[in-house]
Amino acid sequence: GDSVTQTEGLVTLTKGLPVMLNCTYQTTYSPFLFWYVQHLNEAPKLLLKSSTDNKRTEHQGFYATLHKSSSSFHLQKSSVQLSDSALYFCALSEMSNYNVLYFGSGTKLTVEP
Amino acid sequence: DTTVKQNPRYKLARVGKPVNLICSQTMNHDTMYWYQKKPNQAPKLLLFYYDKILNREADTFEKFQSSRPNNSFCSLYIGSAGLEYSAMYLCASSRDRGNQDTQYFGPGTRLLVL
């Protein structure tokens, strides 16, 4: 069945450093990948989404490229800020009738001064 | 306004008692979803409504019920809460049911069953 794997549960970085949060997926259908971000006590919000192979998608300084050859959709940022501290979820939707999301377990990013 | 609202934000329930969680959205979205999230686990889809049609996941079919009296509101009902129901419950909505449609999430209801 469909699944998403996020290998890092916790990432702690100093402000200004680059970050990459890993996301790999498994599906037999054509994938649509999402990154959601959830700040403390807030609702998860869409950060990025893509279904186009090898095309970089950017938003709010974050970027990700869907690589179907390696089933990956890693999230990156060149310089993290304190406000980037949050929980990041990778999610997969397959090309089917319904918009069902399969989530990874999430990566908690903490940015320190 | 892309806000999805959930009430209550926190709920304390006793084992064996019923629990009713409420979700609302004013975006006229056709589809509304309920997810369960436990610590260090991925959010798990419980069920969703496309218009008036309810779809429930096979492994949670008998544990959760739902109603959607109108386009804006959707409830999640637990008939008899057990300790294993303690979790964060996230409601989401999307304009349609296509796999490219963004799901908009509410802030969640944290349920603690004692």
A36-77 confidence digits (pLDDT tens): 999 998 999 999 999 999 999 999 999 999 999 999 999 999
Tell me whether residues A98 and B108 touch, CB distance under 8 A. Answer: no
Tell me whether residues A101 and B45 touch, CB distance under 8 A. Answer: yes
A110's CB contacts (< 8 A; 6+ apart) are A10, A11, A12, A13, A85
pLDDT band at B61 (very low <50, low <70, confident <90, very high): confident
pLDDT in the model for residue B40: 87
Residue A92 forms contact with B (CB below 8 Å):
no
- Does residue B108 surpass a pLDDT of 90? yes
Tell me whether residues B103 and A4 touch, CB distance under 8 A. Answer: no
pLDDT in the model for residue A87: 96
Q: Mean pLDDT throughout B92-102? A: 81
pLDDT in the model for residue A70: 96
Got the DSSP string for A42-77?
S--EEEEEE-SBT-EEEETTEEEEBBTTTTB--EEE
Compare all CA atoms of chain A with the CA of B101 and give the residue at the minimum distance. Answer: A99
Chain A residues whose beta carbon lies within 8 Å of the beta carbon of residue B4: 43
Answer whether A94's CB lies under 8 Å from A27's CB.
yes
Distance from CA of A83 to the nearest CA of B (A): 18
The residue with greater pLDDT, A100 or B19, is B19
Residue found by looking up tokens 């949670």 in the block: B60
pLDDT in the model for residue A16: 97
Distance from CA of A79 to the nearest CA of B (A): 26
Mean pLDDT of chain A: 94
Tell me whether residues A94 and B102 touch, CB distance under 8 A. Answer: no
- Does residue A97 surpass a pLDDT of 60? no
Answer whether B37's CB lies under 8 Å from B108's CB.
yes
